Structure 1
């Protein structure tokens, strides 16, 4: 401190009252400021990060079967909000992003925000990727999405991975990297835009079906015992549109559209059902 404030080691000292006054008014507060800077840096480097690490360790022990969202842009925010609307606990949605403003938005929405690079193993481990139920990758760049997916697969080969795709041609590459499902928002938007040229109500119907706040819900579920043996179509008040049997789709209009044990159904049902 003596060297920093250049007051000397005793060979040069203030002897006049004016010099002593300057030392008391200017140099003493300067010493305090320097100490405060040192304490602030020490707190940031050691105490704050240490407390943050302890908080993350406690958080990780509590997290299980949660959803991780890599990227809290428009797609990530919409996905998080829809997950909550469909019954997911807000605190079971973990958001990874490098933007402090977006992380603040995620915290205000009740989610757990984690600042970091989702392409790094340490970041995904902090988010509990080994215990998560699924992970949504929506960083805004297809190349970054691919790196994130490859890193995820190294840490958890079995987790369900859903990735957004900006360029449709990159879809197969992301699936090859390990994505279970890829979604191209621009492609869906293009379909709806083109269809709205000649139709007035289909766009509203599709959005109604896709959103949890609509009057209808499009659900995917296993066939129940009461449905086995019945034809697809209107079954017990539910519209069975498609049967998935051994990985192959069967439409409700096809001759073989009789529901069998082990079938997976895609059905429309009232939101209150």
Structure 2
């Protein structure tokens, strides 16, 4: 286990930016649920008192207990105020108070006290979960930007079997972060060009950084900052313009994807061969149809040709270089090679 000290000291101004996912219902829904329980207890007590009103006495001499009197008694009784102006005097009324109204009073107090205690302890609970996460986080993926590209990247990671707690999303838009948190992802609110924000996301302990921003200049700054924090992290960045690819690579990006040009090529292909686009989309979707994956070669495959394997091999990764399957350099598979191949996608299991 890696100690939290390896994450470095937090900037006090951004320490509160880190938020752990909460599987419980939202605060508004929780408060409404508790309010409904309290109203139920109040309404039930009112009806019980009103139905058994002959067993109650109003010390103010107002005569028979009315519905308003019953509601008044239920209110002061459940809140343990108990002015004593309306009291049960009959044996049945007192028995009902002991057996029914007292449990309703306890339920009412639990709802009120529970809400107050939860609000007071929420900050401490979040702080504890953050500290525990910091002590355990390692070999995770950080996604900067949760727009269209960032969401698609996260969906692909989740579809490929990555656990939600192994993904950290960094963005400045609170609404986007709320969506990510709803998927069980750890979120960090802040500008990823700041090293303090990336430290909170644990970039120095992560294996991969995905830069999915809409501005190329910001992507360059994030890449530079992340590379300064970690020399070993793999940085995958998206750019809109091809002329900025060399800037990302000089900044330390391991892989650069030209989003606009890639979309343009697919649009061009779709005009003549729309089925090709469907196949490409299918290959890029890990939880349906077929998918492109990467794996280590098996000992029995060493020395053989990648073209003769049962899998449909598209390329061979040797060292830091990718070779097409028809390249003479990879006519014979070597130990340590990795294969890019087509596999049947595994659909997600139903909960």
Q: Determine which structure has more spread, i.e. the larger CA radius of gyration.
A: 2
Judge conservation of contact 2:143–2:170 (CA < 8 Å) in 1. yes
Q: Do residues 211 (structure 1) and 285 (structure 2) align?
A: yes
Moved more, 247-256 or 172-181: 247-256
The structure with higher relative contact order (CA 8 Å, sep 6+) is 2
Judge conservation of contact 1:250–1:257 (CA < 8 Å) in 2. no
Match of 2:58 in 1: none
Judge conservation of contact 2:307–2:325 (CA < 8 Å) in 1. no
Match of 2:315 in 1: 242
Correspondent of 2:203 among 122, 129, 139:
129
Aligned to 2:203, the other structure's residue is in SS state coil
Sort the Cα spacing of 1:91 and 1:267 in 2 relative to 1 into closer, same or farther, 3 A: same
* C-alpha separation in 1, matches of 2:313 and 2:307: 5
Correspondent of 2:181 among 107, 132, 136:
107
Instruction: Give the superposition deviation at 1:50.
Output: 8.2
> Superposition pairs for residues 26-37 of structure 1, below 5 Å?
none
Task: Give the TM-score of the pair, scaled to structure 1.
Answer: 0.75
Match of 2:191 in 1: 117
Match of 1:65 in 2: 139
Judge conservation of contact 1:219–1:266 (CA < 8 Å) in 2. yes
> Superposition pairs for residues 21-170 of structure 1, below 5 Å?
55-170=129-244
Q: Output one character per residue of 1:23-51: Cα deviation in whole Å (capped at 9) or x when no partner.
A: xxxxxxxxxxxxxxxxxxxxxxxx99888
Q: Do residues 199 (structure 1) and 279 (structure 2) align?
A: no
Gaps of 5+ in 2: 1-120, 347-351
Sort the Cα spacing of 1:141 and 1:51 in 2 relative to 1 into closer, same or farther, 3 A: farther
Q: Give the helix-richer structure, 1 or 2.
A: 2
Sort the Cα spacing of 1:225 and 1:51 in 2 relative to 1 into closer, same or farther, 3 A: closer
Judge conservation of contact 1:164–1:185 (CA < 8 Å) in 2. yes
Gaps of 5+ in 1: 1-46
* C-alpha separation in 1, matches of 2:322 and 2:229: 31
Aligned to 2:192, the other structure's residue is in SS state coil
Match of 2:18 in 1: none
Aligned to 1:233, the other structure's residue is in SS state helix
* C-alpha separation in 2, matches of 1:48 and 1:215: 43
Aligned to 1:196, the other structure's residue is in SS state helix
Task: Give the TM-score of the pair, scaled to structure 2.
Answer: 0.59
* C-alpha separation in 2, matches of 1:223 and 1:63: 29
Sort the Cα spacing of 1:61 and 1:225 in 2 relative to 1 into closer, same or farther, 3 A: same
Aligned to 1:125, the other structure's residue is in SS state helix
Instruction: Give the superposition deviation at 1:153.
Output: 1.3
* C-alpha separation in 1, matches of 2:123 and 2:344: 49
Q: Output one character per residue of 1:41-78: Cα deviation in whole Å (capped at 9) or x when no partner.
A: xxxxxx99888666533321121111111111110111
